[in-house]
A and B are shown apart, each in its own frame.
Chain A
Amino acid sequence: KAGVTQTPRYLIKTRGQQVTLSCSPISGHRSVSWYQQTPGQGLQFLFEYFSETQRNKGNFPGRFSGRQFSNSRSEMNVSTLELGDSALYLCASSFEGANLYTQYFGPGTRLTVL
């Protein structure tokens, strides 16, 4: 079974731009969670989507948003990019809700904001 895939793998943007990242979960998984990983803060939870609905949200500003499609694929969007948004963005999928099942991570999208 194929793992979690994320596109693109690398991205360079400038301040003020917006960016959309994509995540395809493991086949049959319905929950997708997004995390931001930085050297200083480590891995931090952004949000979880399950059945096209946002179930949980971490402590990130409204510039960070996401959505999930009927095939469970998910996208996250960051608007008005700031230098501090440079990070590795990881998505993780689980069979059903992340509150019950193990999360499996994709390879991440490394975003650099100049």
Chain B
Amino acid sequence: GQNIDQPTEMTATEGAIVQINCTYQTSGFNGLFWYQQHAGEAPTFLSYNVLDGLEEKGRFSSFLSRSKGYSYLLLKELQMKDSASYLCAVRSNYGGSQGNLIFGKGTKLSVKP
């Protein structure tokens, strides 16, 4: 089966660091994506991992362990504008579903002053 789990909600303080975890079980794996989605807006691409390890992009970093079916998104120096939902998505390479993204339900992050 296909399953992606991430926490439903998280709260953090402005200026702090927060880690959003994602575990997955999918038929086939061809990369893991993180998207940010503000309420009422389109998901915007944050990061992509296909090999194990850490990818850093400014205040955002994403980690992948394929053997553990695990990823996390790390947000540093949190700002109020980081309050949003963070979506973990796995790209399948299985049979007729190649290319489509399988999404978790998203983690709603609230940044408090």
Show the binding face of A for B, using Cβ within 8 Å: 4, 31, 33, 35, 42-45, 48, 55-58, 90, 92, 97-100, 102-108
Task: Give the segment of B9-17, B67-75, B89-97 that binds chain A.
Answer: B89-97
State the CA gap A69–B98 with chains docked (Å): 22
Chain A residues contacting B99 (CB-CB under 8 Å) are 31, 33, 48, 55-56, 97-100
B103 near A44: Cβ-Cβ < 8 Å: yes
Chain A residues contacting B44 (CB-CB under 8 Å) are 105
B35 near A45: Cβ-Cβ < 8 Å: no
| Nearest chain B CB to A59 CB, angstrom units | 10
Chain A residues contacting B97 (CB-CB under 8 Å) are 45, 56, 58
A45 near B91: Cβ-Cβ < 8 Å: no
B105 near A56: Cβ-Cβ < 8 Å: no
Show the binding face of B for A, using Cβ within 8 Å: 30, 33, 35, 41-45, 48, 87, 89, 91, 93, 96-106
State the CA gap A4–B41 with chains docked (Å): 12
Cβ 8 A contact of B42, one of A48, A90, A100, A102: A90
| Nearest chain B CB to A87 CB, angstrom units | 14
Majority SS at the chain B contact face: mixed
A33 near B100: Cβ-Cβ < 8 Å: yes
Sample (8) of A-B pairs whose CB atoms are under 8 Å apart: A35-B103, A45-B100, A55-B98, A57-B96, A98-B99, A98-B100, A102-B48, A105-B35
| Nearest chain B CB to A26 CB, angstrom units | 12
State the CA gap A58–B101 with chains docked (Å): 10
10 closest residue pairs by CB, A with B: A99-B99, A98-B99, A43-B103, A45-B100, A105-B42, A42-B105, A99-B98, A107-B42, A105-B43, A56-B100
Closest to B92 in A: A99
Chain A residues contacting B102 (CB-CB under 8 Å) are 45
Chain B residues contacting A48 (CB-CB under 8 Å) are 99-100
Chain A residues contacting B91 (CB-CB under 8 Å) are 98-99
| Nearest chain A CB to B45 CB, angstrom units | 6
| Nearest chain B CB to A99 CB, angstrom units | 3
State the CA gap A45–B43 with chains docked (Å): 14
State the CA gap A106–B45 with chains docked (Å): 11
